[in-house]
Chain A
Amino acid sequence: MNPDWLYGLGGGLMIGLAAALLLLLNGRIAGISGIFGAMVAGRPDGDAFERLAFLAALIGVPALYVFAGGAPAANAPASAPLLVAAGLLVGMGTRMGGGCTSGHGVCGMSRFSPRSIVAAVTFMLVGAVVATLGRHVIGGL
């Protein structure tokens, strides 16, 4: 089996374990758009400090890995207009749809929530169409 897939499975188990810890201990959904969105768009409430801690570690642990000599590559597209358009779509869309790959994908589908399954199928299909058109028809993604 391709080692990349095994790393994917292992990393996925870590992500799922993190989400399970947050659910079973704190009773919270590990949905990144929900946690980040509440920080930037919501009113501060009793959970604000917890959200800050989650996000600080989410950003900080990969930063520590880089500091220790790791060299992960983000390989982001280098077009500023494309990044702004994509970021706006992701920000507005995840708030409107109530979740992203983690909230609907990891946490919702594992609960067999029809709402989350509909959301995940929708963003997977649209994402596939846009990525395919962008790479083959328009080119340059």
Chain B
Amino acid sequence: MRVLVSLAAGGLFGAGLVVADMINAQRVQAFLDPFGAWDPTLAFVMGGAMIPMIIAWALSKSQKPAFADAFPSKRSEIDARLISGSAMFGAGWGLAGFCPGPALAALSFGGWPVSLFVLAMGAGMWGHDRFIARTVPA
């Protein structure tokens, strides 16, 4: 059952990214860059996505997940890893116009540029966990 839920959630997530045109790197960059022809679409996407999730977190206070023992615990540490990691992510996002979800959703039709980006992203994740994760103080 958990696998079916994951399949449905992944599919709906991917469809939402296409409907919102967040798989379009130029539209994402046009949001990040306020000095060009500014495109506020990403703000509408973020706002729309927050609504079901605010309700879901409210519901999570009075019940358990249907197919799990507990909800994920809330992490609170705000440290150098959080800030430097998020800054690195932001730099890559601004450069290419892709974050992980849209890059994967665009993999089937984005040609070699999207494939190359996803390959490099995977290598960055692997490299981080292999070489950096244990050396950076948590």
Contacts and interface: CB of A to CB of B under 8 A. Distances in A.
Contacts of B39: 4
A135 to B, nearest CB: 5
Nearest to B22: A11
A88 to B, nearest CB: 4
A28 B89 CA distance: 22
A102 B94 CA distance: 16
Given A11-B45, A80-B116, A90-B98, A96 B81 contact: yes
Contact of B48 (A13, A88, A94): A13
A95 B53 contact: no
A110 B50 contact: yes
Contacts of A126: 86-87, 89-91, 94
A132 to B, nearest CB: 5
- Chain A interface size band reads 35 or more
Interface string A41-73: 110000001110111111111110110001011
A92 B127 contact: yes
A32 B92 contact: no
30 contacts: A8-B43, A11-B21, A13-B51, A13-B52, A17-B16, A21-B12, A23-B56, A24-B60, A26-B67, A28-B72, A57-B13, A61-B14, A74-B113, A74-B114, A80-B113, A86-B91, A86-B93, A86-B117, A88-B124, A89-B88, A91-B120, A91-B125, A91-B126, A93-B86, A94-B99, A95-B124, A95-B128, A111-B74, A127-B90, A136-B36
Given A25-B65, A80-B113, 19 more contacts: A9-B45, A14-B20, A15-B17, A16-B48, A19-B49, A20-B56, A25-B66, A57-B9, A58-B104, A63-B108, A77-B96, A87-B103, A90-B117, A98-B75, A106-B49, A107-B53, A110-B56, A120-B86, A127-B93
Interface of A: 4-30, 32-33, 36-37, 40-42, 49-51, 53-63, 65-66, 70, 72-78, 80, 82-98, 100-102, 104-107, 109-111, 113-115, 118-120, 122-132, 134-136, 141
